[in-house]
Amino acid sequence: MLKHKKLLALILGGVMTTSVMLTGCGSSDKKAEGGAASEEPVNLVWYVIGQPQTDGELVEEEVNKYIKDKINATVDIKHIDFGDYTQKMNVLANSGEDYDLAFTCSWAFPYLENARKGAFLELNDLLDKQGADLKGVIDERLWKGAEVDGKIYAVPNQKEIALAPMWVFDKELVEKYDIPYQDIHSVEDLEPWLQIIKEKEPDFVPFYTQGDSIPLEFDEIMRPLGVFFNDDTLTVQNMYETEEMKAMMTKLREYYEKGYINQDAAVNNMQNEVKRFVWKADGQPYAENGWGQSLGREVVTSPIIPAYVTNNSTTGAMTAISATSKNPEKAMELINLVNTDSTLRNMLMFGLEGSHYEKINDKQIKRPEKNSYSVTSWAYGNLFDTYV
């Protein structure tokens, strides 16, 4: 009987000890879960195309106060100017350096090329979780254009879908020589004005261009294969074998020999400090504001052909997560927040109220003529959730 009592006491003691241990484990788990909310915020590095801003750090400080409360993260935004962006980002990607987010598109740090070579993280799973709000905000046509073999490697910025090839002119020279720039559409239309600028404005390059910028309106499916926009038959051609390309190259060679085109055109990467009368660009409404800001000179534009929609235009501004990112979930949380939180989006685009703009009403603002914060508006996210 005594032995049975001792055995029962040992069993009960073991049960009580186990119970205490389990209770202790439960308390420890709750403490760890509670500690997660008080962890140090993740700092994300985000590369964006556009000129660095005088008040960039000031705005970034306020942005970080705001997003830290929202997603427990901060962000270091690094601006790289248009002329250097692709080259510097390619070096960064090829080196395997850690960063989290980057602007990408069809024409800068090219989306398709870098998605295929593994520079960007595949986002489908993250979009279902941390980016769950994005599908309802961004046009389905933009998502379709972003697919690479059925996968998404960057979040398209909600903006206009069509793209317009255009001539971009220095406004001061246009006004000085009373140039009817709105009537200039073809390469041939430029010629008399190039001659005037060459003769009278020695500090300006009449026609500034680079080796791969060909003013031939050709939808490149996969260079050099594609179709001409004015070809109703949609015949796929090698653009280098067409009569149109031959005529264009002949005309450009003529301009080069006359001194209208910059001598370093074959290797040029479009330096902003170079004064130029005209160059070709693909843009959208108000793109001249960004170009003018980068150049430090006002510009005006004239369409070469009507606007069009292609895969290149639907991938005209995007945000990718680097394959080297150590915090992809948090990076997607930031993309989600930028595209759905109008306070944050306007802060990134316009800066700080009272310093960089004044409110007229809930939708409209007024900005000073000289502004120490004027970023590339379409490079960050949803362009339709901003002040006007």
- Measured CA to CA, the distance from residue 198 to residue 387 in angstroms comes to 41
The structure's pTM equals: 0.68
> Which pLDDT score is estimated for 334?
97
Which of 248, 281, 308 is a domain's end point?
308
Tell whether 24 is covered by a domain.
no
Which of 308, 329, 349 is a domain's end point?
308
Provide the number of structural domains found in the chain.
2
For residues 277 and 207, is the Cβ–Cβ distance under 8 A? yes
Give yes or no: residues 362 and 284 share one domain.
no
| pLDDT tens figures, 76-105 | 999 999 889 999 999 999 999 999 999 999
For 130, other C-beta atoms within 10 Å of its C-beta total 21
Cis peptide before 328 (omega within 30 of 0): no
| pLDDT tens figures, 177-210 | 999 999 999 999 999 999 999 999 999 999 999 8
Give yes or no: residues 218 and 83 share one domain.
no
> Which pLDDT score is estimated for 11?
36
For residues 316 and 103, is the Cβ–Cβ distance under 8 A? no
What H or E segment, with its residue span, contains residue 335? helix 328-340
Asked if pLDDT for residue 374 goes beyond 50, the answer is: yes
Give yes or no: residues 240 and 351 share one domain.
no
Give yes or no: residues 193 and 152 share one domain.
no
Give yes or no: residues 143 and 83 share one domain.
yes
> Which pLDDT score is estimated for 266?
80
Q: Where are the extended beta strands (E) located within the chain?
A: 42-49, 73-80, 101-104, 147-148, 151-152, 154-156, 164-170, 205-207, 218-222, 225-228, 237-238, 276-283, 299-303, 318-321, 358-359, 365-366
Give residue 155's domain range.
Answer: 42-160+314-379
Asked if pLDDT for residue 338 goes beyond 80, the answer is: yes
CATH code at position 238:
3.40.190.10
- Measured CA to CA, the distance from residue 152 to residue 343 in angstroms comes to 27
Tell whether 14 is covered by a domain.
no
Identify the residue with better confidence: 18 or 220: 220
Closest alpha carbon to 298 in 306, 307, 289: 289
